[in-house]
Structure formats: structure tokens, C-alpha cells
Structure 1
């Protein structure tokens, strides 16, 4: 008998057999401290709920060629584990491992291309947004504080302003800093508002001389500016 498809919010660690219909909305390679490689993914179902998924290096040959960011799949016999990551990709407290898993690409038009849940600055400032959960944020660049685009560390710091005039410091590192610096340069002569959206951003609490801020993670974040935001 065919298994009924489950929603992401139904997943937990006490059941061994699951079947989910999801779209891969993000996908990136990571080198672990022990030298092993993994592919990290973000699965999203038709409700817009998301959960992190991991494919270990030992299974690259079996699964890597069939997994594509933006495609939808029916995935069966996944392993659901507790999420003990320092930064979680969603509020779902679990992760998915692809192990002895059945993966089939499928047409699922009811699953959106992506859904971004924007975290208001006020929730970050007031501590409502969990510090261990990555967030999507959007705002207008109100001030450029620092642009350091010389090796070894690329860094661009700006003040973002939301639609109710609350400010938040955004620090972009490495390739994200170069992308933001390029957008600032191109926007300099346009004299238009520069709107920025950063996805999967980590919240960094105030420490010593450093203020509360949002920053990109090393892998997985995406930076969108102006026209890119309009497209999504």
C-alpha cells in the first residue's frame, strides 16, 4: 500500500517511515571539520514550511546527480533527527538525512518556487526572533558604514532601514561583501533607494563594541538587491 504524503510540520523522530513531497529551495556544499563533504539543502512543502536536509559524501554517487535546486521531489524513507546546529535554517526542530532513501523527481505545481518569511527588525531588536534560527530580512540601505574589500577579509557594513524607520546593522562577509559593494557602486549614480534582502542571515547579539547585527552565513545565504527582489 502506498504511503500517504506527510507535511513537514508532521515530521518527528519517533517514526521511521516518512514520505514527503518537497521542492529544493537552496542547496550548497560544505566541508566538515573531519574532512568529509556534505550537501546541505533546504526542503519546502506546499505550505511553505521548510526543513534542512543533509546528504553525506558517501551517498554523492547515488543521489547527487538527481538533486537540483528548484526541482520538486517525492522522497520516501528519510531519517529525521534532532537539530543541534548552532544556527537552524527554520523553526522546525529537526533535520532530514538522506540515507536508504527513495528519491523521485515529480511535478508538484502546488509547491511554490520559494516562500520568504521576512523577519521584522523590531522582532530582532526586542529578542522575539530566536537567536539560533536563521532569518530573511529586507531593508533600504540608509548608510554605508564600512567598505573593506581588500584581502584577507572582505567586509561591508551598512545600516538597513525598514518601512517603519527602524534601523539594523548588516555585515556582509567575503563574496557577499563583494556583491553588496558592487551593488552600492552601481547604485551610486542612480540616486535611487538601494533595497537589500539577505536570506538565511544569522543574528549576532551586541558584544563589546559591536552592536546587534545580522550577518550572512558562510554557505547558504543569498543576497538580493532591487530588481532581483522584484523578480522573487
Structure 2
């Protein structure tokens, strides 16, 4: 029997025991104001129109820095879910995920998740500057 999987579009702040099958489509390291490094990434699932921002803070960074690779696919679960607020949003999803001490990540071959996702914008939205 296949295990239950959640999708990015299902994420809300009511369930933090999500089990996501995802591809990391963008991964980078950032130095914070207090000189600590953290990781930011964008992940997507097999429905490649939905993406979400993920943050790995200093405490959990040592655990995951050498493990996570851009373009690889993983099963991930147990996150802290927070509102996606701020002046610059990396994704349009209303929430973002934060790795915590009980986050589990297992690399798996998931060929049904496309390698790249493109977000095309209608010309009318570009002209109206509503994108």
C-alpha cells in the first residue's frame, strides 16, 4: 500500500506533519545580519505550478548542508509552517516552511516531478503591471 502524500497546494497552518514528495528547484545560502549562515530553497511537487519557499536556519543547517542538492528529489516531512509575509516574497504561496529539529528528508528517485517549472504570465497582466 502506498503511503499518503500531501501536495504543496494543500499546505495551510493546521497541519505540520506534512509528507511532501518534492524537487528542489533552487537552493542558495545567505548570511544573516548577525553573521550566521542559513539556507533558502524553493521546492515544487509533481503539480509543477505550485512552489513554496523553505528556510533552514543556523541550528539545522549543519545537518542538511551537505545532503540537499539542487534538482534532486526528496520525501520531506515535519516542518514549521509560517505565514509568507514580508516585502519580497520568493513564492506566491501564502505560507513558507521552516526546517526544525524533527524534519526528515530522504532522497528518492521521483521521475514524475519535472526538472524545471515555468510560470508564464499573460501579456495583459504584464501590460497592466499586475504580475
Could you tell me how far 1:121 is from its partner in structure 2? 4.8
2:104 corresponds, among 102, 115, 118, to: 102
- Ranges of 4+ aligned residues in structure 1 off by more than 6 Å: none
- Does the residue aligned with 2:65 lie in a helix, a strand or coil? helix
Larger radius of gyration: 1
> Residues 197-225 of structure 1, C-alpha deviation per residue, up to 9 Å, x if partnerless?
xxxxxxxxxxxxxxxxxxxxxxxxxxxxx
Could you tell me how far 1:23 is from its partner in structure 2? 0.2
The aligned counterpart of 1:63 is: 64
Could you tell me how far 1:85 is from its partner in structure 2? 2.7
**Aligned mates of 2:126, 2:33 — CA distance in 1:** 30
TM-score (norm 1): 0.52
- Does the residue aligned with 1:101 lie in a helix, a strand or coil? strand
Could you tell me which runs of 5 or more consecutive residues in structure 1 were left unpaired when the two chains were aligned: 130-232
1:1-232 correspondence to structure 2 within 5 Å: 4-48=4-48, 49-99=50-100, 100-129=102-131
| Structure with more of its chain in helix, by fraction | 1
The structure whose RCO (Cα within 8 Å, separation 6+) is larger is 2
**Aligned mates of 1:85, 1:3 — CA distance in 2:** 35
Asked if the contact 1:40/1:55 (under 8 Å) is kept, the reply is yes
**Aligned mates of 2:57, 2:88 — CA distance in 1:** 19
Q: For the aligned residues, what is the CA RMSD?
A: 1.6
**Aligned mates of 2:68, 2:112 — CA distance in 1:** 19
**Aligned mates of 1:54, 1:80 — CA distance in 2:** 10
Could you tell me which runs of 5 or more consecutive residues in structure 2 were left unpaired when the two chains were aligned: none
The aligned counterpart of 1:162 is: none
**Aligned mates of 1:28, 1:121 — CA distance in 2:** 30
Asked if the contact 1:16/1:79 (under 8 Å) is kept, the reply is yes
